[in-house]
A and B are shown apart, each in its own frame.
Chain A
Amino acid sequence: MADASIIPAGIAGMFDLLSPNPPGWGGNLLRGLANSLQIAVGAFGMGLLIGTFGAYGKLYGGPLVRDIAAIYTTIVRAVPELVLILLLYYAGTDMINRVLEGLGYQRVDISGLVAGIVVLGFVQGAYATEVLRGAIKAIPQGEIEAARAYGMSPTLMMRRITLPAMLPHALPGLANLWLISTKDTALLAVVGFSELTLVTRQAAGTTKAYFLFFIAAGVLYLAITLFSNLILAKVEQWARRGMPSVKEAR
């Protein structure tokens, strides 16, 4: 117990509640944070992958591919994310199990982590498709033409020219998507996944220290954002290496 003469009893109790060791709830909060981050990283990565294919499909695909990509981005962006999460999580797992049973396999328990990543990644993919499509269109056409004129295959051109050249145009949009993905993990509370927000609610409900725990969760979300900003600034600086500053010279 801390020295009560210096630290008032209320504040000391606060630290006890946030202590990482039981009966403190700090450990649970940090585990929730770790779960949230895993989902955010997974969903963002999956979104990038879908978005790359989606953008290429929309730009270079045949009529069928373009239509499929257009339907995907339109529907996903039209439906509220919460509805999509409920729909994909419950209906999606149910459908997989029905198919498995129909094929004569056992039902499986789909882990909340995997389901969360897939559901949020599916949503992120639609937005990433549009961010990357715009970024690819911002590449000067001459650079693409030069790559073609020197005999690069489509995959080599994607790896060596298109993706690095579009990155500076895509980064502001992708940074938005990453930050949105860290906070969208909170929506998974509705399907009972123990991410940061759900754990916070449990801690607050049990101890009645609502203000304390929600402030603590807010601080954790803010810390993610601040840390991300640091990294993103570095990445953007690197991606813009060949580009002069947009600021007026002084």
Chain B
Amino acid sequence: MNEQPLHDLDTLRARQPRFRGLESGHRACQGCGEALAARLTTEAAGPDVVVANATGCLEVFTTPWPQSAWRLPWIHSVFGNTAAVAAGMEAALKQQGRATQVLAFAGDGGTFDIGFQALSGMMERGHDVLFVCFDNEAYMNTGVQRSGSTPHAAMTTTSPPGELRMGKRHMKKDILSIIAAHHIPYAATASVAYPSDLRKKVRRAMDTEGASFLQIHSPCPLGWGHDGAKTIEVARLAVQTGLFPVIEMERGELIGTLPIREPRPVSDYLKLQNRFRHLFASEYRARKELEHLQAIANRNIERFELRGVGPETYDTEGADTVHRGGDRWA
């Protein structure tokens, strides 16, 4: 077919059908869910975008000066202002009459917590920005401290289990309800375990005029204490147990879900991760917390009507190269 050896990196890259906004060679840990999520997002978004990035792992591992893994115009300002920086970029591009789209990237800290006020303001004002939250459920960049997104009972360095505690005392903040209350045109959750679904949602959000929000469940092998080779398995189990519902909303109304035909017990998901190891001790408190987490998953399945009745939905929808965004820019 071609004399060029297949292992030649430049050739492979040239044949890569998709645009890559985030290049290889960055410094993320092995199995980093956030790096994968960012690559999938930027692939689907294409090159005619500008990115505002919050402080966090993604910023740090992609841009150690003088290197940068981004093939997109990209700016990092501070931790809590990403949505506002994105809003400013959008206002500028609008005023200039340009069609370039604006993405905002933040972790769960930059979304649920320190960046929340700016995010709420951006959504309330209806800026045409896609805000992507790479949700790895703790402050990973500073060394795994609990965030508003950390699940109940999870161990972090600031929610350690001990004689008096069983990990995080509080619940994972219900960010979806808060986003829904802003009645933005489009909001969705996605998981790195379902990449076609994820890409489809990015494209959908970018086609939507006004503010949109995408929360991507992104396992962190280091922070969650799981094998880096099992990132996808862990992410998929979070969905299949009901602990991370994959849904879509329009104007705050639920319009679609990734259904679960046979929900898996939460222990299948939890036991792969050291952050939940204390829940498997043979003691009463541990059993109660496991029951508690199972009840949370059951409640999610009920609330979002996740129980699928048809055939298992595999992640095949949209899994073609035609609509991946890349061919337009090849």
A and B pair up? no
A binding-site residues for B, Cβ under 8 Å:
none
